[in-house]
Amino acid sequence: MNSGLDHRSLGLGDEQVIEMYRLMLITRRVDDRMFALQRQGRAAFVLGSSGHEAVQVSSVFALDKERDWILPYYRDMGVALAWGFTPLEVFLAVFAKRDDPSSGGRQLPSHWSDPDRNVFTQSSVIGTQFPHAAGIAHGLKMKGEGAVAVVYGGEGATSEGDWHEAMNWAGIHDLPLICVIENNRYAISVPIHEEVAGQVADRARGYGFPGHRIDGNDPFQVLETMQEAVARARSGAGPTLIEADTYRYYAHTSDDNDALYRSREEVERWRKKDPVARLKQYLIESRLLTEAHESSIDEDVVRVLAEAVAEAEASPNPDEPTARVYARVIEPGPAVTEPEPAPEGETVNMITAINKALHEIFERHDDAVLFGEDVARRKGGVFKATEGLTDKFGAERCFNTPIAESSIIGCAIGMSATGYRVLPEIQFADYIHPAFDQIVSEASRVSYRSNGRWNVPIVIRTPYGAGIHGAQYHSQSIESFYAHVPGLKVVIPSTPADVKGLLHTAFEDPDPVMFLEPKKLYRLAKGPFPPGEHLVPLGKAAIRHAGTDLTIIAYGAMAHFAMEAVPILEELDISAEVIDLRSLKPLDWATIEASVKKTSRALVLHEDNEFLGYGAEIAAQIADKTFEWLDAPVKRYGLPDVPLMPYAGSLENKLYPTPESIVERAQELAKY
Ligand SMILES: Cc1ncc(C[n+]2csc(CCOP(=O)(O)OP(=O)(O)O)c2C)c(N)n1
């Protein structure tokens, strides 16, 4: 080895170093087999790892499979095999079979996942795994059992914001995280000098922890560096970044033509540093292996792979395309036809209700953790929703985050994988957009893409909506972006009692729930806060007022205003029924249907833009399913195509619905 290291000085026995070689060889042979199958048309798409075997296999030798966690990326065949994925499991994924443990055929091959082996599910999105890894490492640190998380990625991935946010988070909290970057010099066709400014390893310094650049084709140098990083992480000293120089021999994927961007000579130069050949030579020179022994290992590998291919190819295909979108499917209940009896309890406003409900959750559940911007001790949230949590329950359970929304959600996803139930707060819904990817590409898809083996029990709380002169970036309605996404649940309370009931239910739910708080109501809406157990089921609307002439379907602040419109309409001899949806996803269709069949007129109301707003879905379903009962076209009252919301009161007041403008729309509908 160029490093001059030998296996015994690293604590490896003779058998272990031969096993390391066998794993590197099988990794190489798997690639050859996969690409051959793809060329034969038996596999649709494959990704190679050839060239990366030393960093992948050897890094695992520093870990404890019983307690450590890994997040391999799509190129990490060697990590997966060394961690214990079998060749059969590899080819079940290659053939997209039902029994593929990672995704049951729902993801591309080489997207490793297995809760039984502490391997968190991966997507194809470059970089999103790093906040998950930081969140997992954070959870492991809180458990205090000395476990370590290792996350892998390419050098291209270090350009993503998620990578930087995760490294910053890991540095702030001294997390037991090791980030292994397999620098193969290309991100598809883009060479490193067009992708990375400076040196990857040097970036660690900016986040306050060590970074090492090593020869990734030297398994012993990899192992030595990993051992040091593992010792550092277990001792509580914090993260390490390892940049391992290497090269991939196949094209980026089976769809790529690498002749377009690199020369044959360059590939040949790197073939001379072939990690598999290097370890073989070391073993032969150290007299641990003879050519004959090596041939028998190789023959055995080839036989094992042939058997795995045959068994995997013959195994059943998956056949449940709509299953496991959610960890818990909310079954539709019977229609609600009457207002609920008024709850009893101390009268509070909405923000106090949120604060009290959070305190109750923290009191009852030791696994509850909340983080976000300004949520902790000194401020307790910009609206005071989280006041007192840090003082009462400790800085481990309620803490401030950097202003980095993607990592707020990504770390919540990761921490939840280690057994905590996390309530990440996004300070304003207007600032949730940087986390869209983590919510939509990650949290919402984890159950489906892992075939139900992982779930994300997080509650994302955020204030939304206008009417407070918050201008363009403190007024947005975001519900329709998220209600559109399979795998998410979306709720919006409009009373203090519903705040409590929905927050407890959302917390108990095993899926990601968006808990959108109409901030216009924070201090405006007052009502009883029921003591003791009080749950509002997801997917159940409330009739706020019973009526006979028309149905107003609303939620959030608009449900509140619709109720203020009711007595004005009564004076005009119009009896309005008001439905407060509370739960946008799942939707309580039965309650809407029963009401519209009774009144034959429907007005759907929200403070979001009308075009493709949430009301479009409700209006479409009413038109589709209750057409024969309607006496008038379904009407929507949303906002015009204007970025919400202009600052000037004279402008906002013209756009924002009021009880009076709701009355106008209702009158027109009643007259039709
Ligand atoms: C966010 C995102 N952007 C673009 C892509 C398309 N894409 C897939 S792999 C890849 C290159 C990744 O390069 P690197 O991180 O260096 O890893 P390597 O494939 O070289 O191992 C790109 C651009 C993606 N999957 N995700």
265 C-alpha to center of ligand 1: Å? 24
CB of residue 89 inside a 6 A radius of ligand 1:
no
CB of residue 124 inside a 6 A radius of ligand 1:
yes
Measured distance CA(358)–CA(368) in Å, rounded? 9
Measuring CA to CA, which residue among 555, 526, 539, 568 is closest to residue 615? 555
Residue nearest atom 18 in ligand 1 by C-alpha distance = 154
120 C-alpha to center of ligand 1: Å? 19
Determine the residue of 47, 74, 188 to mutate for testing ligand 1's pocket, defined as the one with the most ligand atoms within 8 A of the Cβ atom. 188
367 C-alpha to center of ligand 1: Å? 35
Q: With 0-12 CB in 10 A as exposed, 13-18 as middle and 19+ as buried, what is 507? A: buried
Q: What is the pLDDT of residue 117?
A: 98
201 C-alpha to center of ligand 1: Å? 19
Burial 278-305 (b: 16+ CB within 10 A, else e): bbbebbeeeeebeeeebeebbeebeebb
Report the DSSP pairing between strands 240-245 and 177-183: parallel
185 C-alpha to center of ligand 1: Å? 12
Three-state secondary-structure class, residue 245 = strand
342-347-349-354 Cα dihedral, nearest 10 degrees: -80
Establish how many alpha carbons lie within 13 A of residue 181's alpha carbon, considering only the half-sphere containing its beta carbon. Answer: 31
| DSSP code, position 453 | S
Measured from the Cβ of residue 559, the count of other Cβ atoms closer than 10 Å reads 29
Measured distance CA(80)–CA(74) in Å, rounded? 10
**Max CA-CA distance within the chain?**
99
pLDDT exceeds cutoff 90 at 3: no
Establish how many alpha carbons lie within 13 A of residue 333's alpha carbon, considering only the half-sphere containing its beta carbon. Answer: 14
25 C-alpha to center of ligand 1: Å? 25
What residues contact residue 328 under an 8 Å CB cut-off, 6+ apart? 509, 510, 511
- Work out the average pLDDT over 422-427: 98
- Work out the average pLDDT over 514-527: 98
For the record, the structure tokens of 55 come out as 């960093």
pLDDT exceeds cutoff 80 at 1: no
Sign of the C-alpha dihedral computed for residues 3, 8, 12 and 14 taken in this order: positive
| DSSP code, position 515 | E
Measuring CA to CA, which residue among 239, 213, 55, 247 is closest to residue 130? 239
For the record, the structure tokens of 114 come out as 């297995």
pLDDT tens digits, 271-306: 999 999 999 999 999 999 999 999 999 999 999 999
597 C-alpha to center of ligand 1: Å? 52
- Work out the average pLDDT over 506-534: 98
Query: What are the phi and psi torsion angles at 238 (to 5°)?
Result: 120, -165
Closest atom of ligand 1 relative to the 75 alpha carbon:
21
Question: 318 to each of 93, 280, 454, how far by Cα in Å?
Answer: 11, 40, 18
Identity of the amino acid at 197: A
CB of residue 75 inside a 6 A radius of ligand 1:
yes
Three-state secondary-structure class, residue 154 = strand
CB of residue 630 inside a 6 A radius of ligand 1:
no
The answer to whether residue 504 is catalytic is no
Q: What is the pLDDT of residue 250?
A: 97
Measuring CA to CA, which residue among 128, 229, 114 is closest to residue 179? 229
Residue nearest atom 8 in ligand 1 by C-alpha distance = 126
Measured distance CA(386)–CA(375) in Å, rounded? 6
CB of residue 47 inside a 6 A radius of ligand 1:
no
CB of residue 457 inside a 6 A radius of ligand 1:
no
Closest atom of ligand 1 relative to the 73 alpha carbon:
21
Measured distance CA(16)–CA(93) in Å, rounded? 28
Residue nearest atom 21 in ligand 1 by C-alpha distance = 154
Question: 202 to each of 161, 216, 232, 476, 577, how far by Cα in Å?
Answer: 17, 16, 18, 39, 64
108 C-alpha to center of ligand 1: Å? 14
pLDDT exceeds cutoff 80 at 560: yes
First to last CA, the chain: 86
**What DSSP string runs through 300-327?**
HHHHHHHHHHHHHHTSPPP--TTTTSSS
Report the DSSP pairing between strands 526-529 and 346-349: antiparallel
For the record, the structure tokens of 197 come out as 């400014």
Measured distance CA(411)–CA(426) in Å, rounded? 13
Looking at the DSSP bridge assignments, the partners of residue 186 are 191
Confidence of residue 326 (pLDDT cuts 50, 70, 90): very high
| DSSP code, position 259 | G
590 C-alpha to center of ligand 1: Å? 45
CB of residue 126 inside a 6 A radius of ligand 1:
yes
- Whether the Cβ atoms of residue 542 and residue 582 lie closer than 8 Å to each other: yes
Q: What is the pLDDT of residue 2?
A: 75
pLDDT exceeds cutoff 90 at 180: yes
Sign of the C-alpha dihedral computed for residues 639, 642, 645 and 647 taken in this order: negative
CB of residue 187 inside a 6 A radius of ligand 1:
yes
What residues contact residue 158 under an 8 Å CB cut-off, 6+ apart? 164, 181, 196, 200, 203
Average pLDDT, rounded, for the chain: 98
pLDDT tens digits, 605-656: 999 999 999 999 999 999 999 999 999 999 999 999 999 999 999 999 999 9
CB of residue 95 inside a 6 A radius of ligand 1:
no
CB of residue 154 inside a 6 A radius of ligand 1:
yes
What residues contact residue 424 under an 8 Å CB cut-off, 6+ apart? 370, 371, 372, 408, 409, 411, 412, 458, 459, 460, 461
- Work out the average pLDDT over 79-90: 98
Report the DSSP pairing between strands 635-639 and 602-609: parallel
Closest atom of ligand 1 relative to the 125 alpha carbon:
26
What residues contact residue 201 under an 8 Å CB cut-off, 6+ apart? 181, 211, 212, 213, 241, 242, 243
Question: 286 to each of 61, 180, 219, how far by Cα in Å?
Answer: 20, 29, 15
Question: 41 to each of 18, 28, 46, 312, 370, how far by Cα in Å?
Answer: 35, 20, 11, 15, 49
CB of residue 181 inside a 6 A radius of ligand 1:
no
Q: What is the Cα 111 distance to its own chain's centre?
A: 15
- Work out the average pLDDT over 386-409: 98
Question: Among the options 474, 504, 534, 545, which is catalytic?
Answer: 474
pLDDT tens digits, 578-604: 999 999 999 999 999 999 999 999 999
Closest atom of ligand 1 relative to the 188 alpha carbon:
11
- Work out the average pLDDT over 434-449: 98
* 345 Rama sector, left if φ>0, alpha if ψ -120 to 50, beta otherwise: left
Q: What is the Cα 73 distance to its own chain's centre?
A: 16
Determine the residue of 126, 163, 190 to mutate for testing ligand 1's pocket, defined as the one with the most ligand atoms within 8 A of the Cβ atom. 126
- Work out the average pLDDT over 309-334: 98
Closest atom of ligand 1 relative to the 127 alpha carbon:
1
For the record, the structure tokens of 209 come out as 């922890």
